Amino acid sequence: MTIDTSTRRPARTRDARPRGEGQWALGHREPLNANEVFKKEDNPLNVRDRIEKIYAYEGFDSIDPDDLRGRFRWMGLYTQRKQGLDGTQTSALSDEELEDSHFMMRIRSDGAILGIPQLRALGEVSTTYARDTADITDRQNIQLHWVRIEDVPAIWERLEKVGLGTTEACGDGPRPFLGSPVAGIAADEIIDGSPALAEIKRRYIGNPDFSNLPRKYKTSVSGHPSLDGAPEVNDCSFVGTVHPEHGPGFDLWVGGGLATNPMLAHKLGVWIPLADVPDVWEAVTSVFRDYGYRRLRNRARLKFLLADWGVEKFRQVLEEEYLHRRLVDCESPAAPTTNGDHIGVHKQKNGLFYVGASAIAGRVSGTTLSALADVVEKHGARGVRLTSYQKIVVIGVLEDEVEGLVADLDEIGLAANPSPWRRSTMACTGLEYCKLALVDTKERARALVAEMERRIPELDTVITVNVNGCPNACARTQIADIGLKGQQINEDGRQVEGFQVHLGGGIGLQSQFTETPFGRKLRAHKVSSAKLDDYVENVVRHYLAERTDG
């Protein structure tokens, strides 16, 4: 086994936390939990070699448990939940008992345009190797299910031919990046961040110096004023801003994250030119790698370091120990005034159009992605970007083609003029495939959208509904108008699928209409999954009846 190669260790030892948090920069290199042990024993990136040379030939049962439930994540692979288990069994069963011999596979898009070759590859891989499954995630990934270990090398080969991949799509490393779906084309864009994203990906994805971070690490780079890359809830966000003298550049926001202990990113109030973004990303990520807490998994995200240090100390360490220069001060950008989901038809700055369209809660299929390639080709569009709201945006459409494209998208289940319910409902993977889930989400969200479209078709505003299968908040429980955290609840003496409700949260444009970005968790607001339609209808009817201007 090779030893972890992430060895940069600044000499400073200024941190005041007691020994035992496992911070490398303070000399604590001995692993303090099982995850740290397997990461130190063998860099997780090395697992690819074993998949290609051993496991794909010898099958599921040959896989070393530390690889299967640990290092495989660095290749975008999680074992999938065994079919037929209900939510009460999630905490009662072991990993081995919960898992199937198939995998969920996450494919990164990193804010890039998926052209016809990429869409065709995704469609083919799904239909050939993943039982025609495909979900668009709110981190701009395509997620497949039912993948067999024997097929993984062939899938990689097909994806990599068109520049796609799964490296570090999960695990304690730089997870898939969020970019603006309208980077480089939106008339109201402050700055196009896509060259910086591409360069960060080129330098650091698959780079062993950054593949053993304390925990998952989420990046967002967007120069669109709608904050369409959800910078508030990423670990490291570059946010378009304008300096009065230097012009367009990026502010740096750090330490955002949801799950338990949700925290919004801290704004540094700086100006970073486009060309410096990759270097600053490296510096921020190095602070996290070296000073991040590695003792308790539930305290290992960057947000906990920020909570202890505060933003001033973070900036000081970043500048003095890593960048070796001061960042330029600049007021943070104003709150957005437009919606960042990009749904509908919009004019690009070059006179072409982009069209944002919605499946229901991100669920598509390989067949849909292949059909989408056909639609893009038929109408001469440039390609598609995924959004951080589980939607797609077709880019580069001639004005004469818009109407036909919108009709063809509709035919394949992608609505450019969706109902407010369909537009604003997201769902995580949930009980269908996720081992941590307590309740079903995708099918529940689909049924909720259909029922609300029938019961309140006249809805004249955006009401965001985020359906999550457990407290991990992959579909951002806390920052929706109606955020639903899956749990088993007691109803008439029986355990049934249900949700803890969080009401009135929102980021981006929605944050202007809320008292706090995080919805209020009301003790009495637990609702069974079976009664969710009635609950949402009640809440929304009361809201519509009692709302005031603004």
Q: How far apart are CA 442 and CA 462, in angstroms?
A: 20
Q: Which residue's CB atom is positioned nearest to ligand SF4? A: 469
Whose Cβ is closer to ligand SF4: residue 90's or residue 226's?
90
Whose Cβ is closer to ligand SF4: residue 429's or residue 464's?
429
**What is the nearest approach in angstroms of ligand SF4 to the Cβ of residue 259?**
8
Strands (E), 309-406: 328-329, 344-347, 353-357, 363-365, 383-386, 392-397
Whose Cβ is closer to ligand SF4: residue 391's or residue 444's?
444
**What is the nearest approach in angstroms of ligand SF4 to the Cβ of residue 299?**
18
- In contact, 480 and 513? CB cutoff 8 Å: no
Q: How far does the chain reach from its first CA to its final CA, in angstroms?
A: 60
Q: Strands 383-386 and 236-243: what pairing?
A: unpaired
Whose Cβ is closer to ligand SF4: residue 300's or residue 437's?
437
Residue 246: CB atoms within 10 A of its CB come to 12
**What is the nearest approach in angstroms of ligand SF4 to the Cβ of residue 437?**
3
Whose Cβ is closer to ligand SF4: residue 33's or residue 472's?
472
**What is the nearest approach in angstroms of ligand SF4 to the Cβ of residue 465?**
15
Whose Cβ is closer to ligand SF4: residue 370's or residue 468's?
468
- In contact, 515 and 437? CB cutoff 8 Å: no
Q: Strands 142-147 and 77-81: what pairing?
A: unpaired
**What is the nearest approach in angstroms of ligand SF4 to the Cβ of residue 474?**
3
Residue 70: CB atoms within 10 A of its CB come to 21
Binding site for ligand SF4 (CB under 6 A): 428-430, 434, 436-437, 468-470, 472-474
Whose Cβ is closer to ligand SF4: residue 136's or residue 474's?
474
Q: How far apart are CA 470 and CA 485, in angstroms?
A: 6
Whose Cβ is closer to ligand SF4: residue 6's or residue 388's?
388
**What is the nearest approach in angstroms of ligand SF4 to the Cβ of residue 469?**
3
CA 417 to chain centre: 24
**What is the nearest approach in angstroms of ligand SF4 to the Cβ of residue 430?**
5
**What is the nearest approach in angstroms of ligand SF4 to the Cβ of residue 216?**
12
HEC per residue, 428-465: CCHHHCCCCCCCCCHHHHHHHHHHHHHHCCCCCCCCCE
- In contact, 134 and 144? CB cutoff 8 Å: yes
Residue 42: which of 5, 6, 4, 72 has the closest Cα? 4
Tokens describing residue 145: 């299910």
Whose Cβ is closer to ligand SF4: residue 405's or residue 436's?
436
Residue 184: CB atoms within 10 A of its CB come to 18
Using alpha carbons, list the distances in angstroms from residue 93 to 10, 261, 311, 441.
43, 26, 41, 20
Q: How far apart are CA 28 and CA 214, in angstroms?
A: 13
Half-sphere exposure of 448 (CA within 13 A, CB side): 33
**What is the nearest approach in angstroms of ligand SF4 to the Cβ of residue 447?**
17
- In contact, 281 and 219? CB cutoff 8 Å: yes
Whose Cβ is closer to ligand SF4: residue 63's or residue 437's?
437
**What is the nearest approach in angstroms of ligand SF4 to the Cβ of residue 35?**
16
Q: How far apart are CA 94 and CA 533, in angstroms?
A: 33
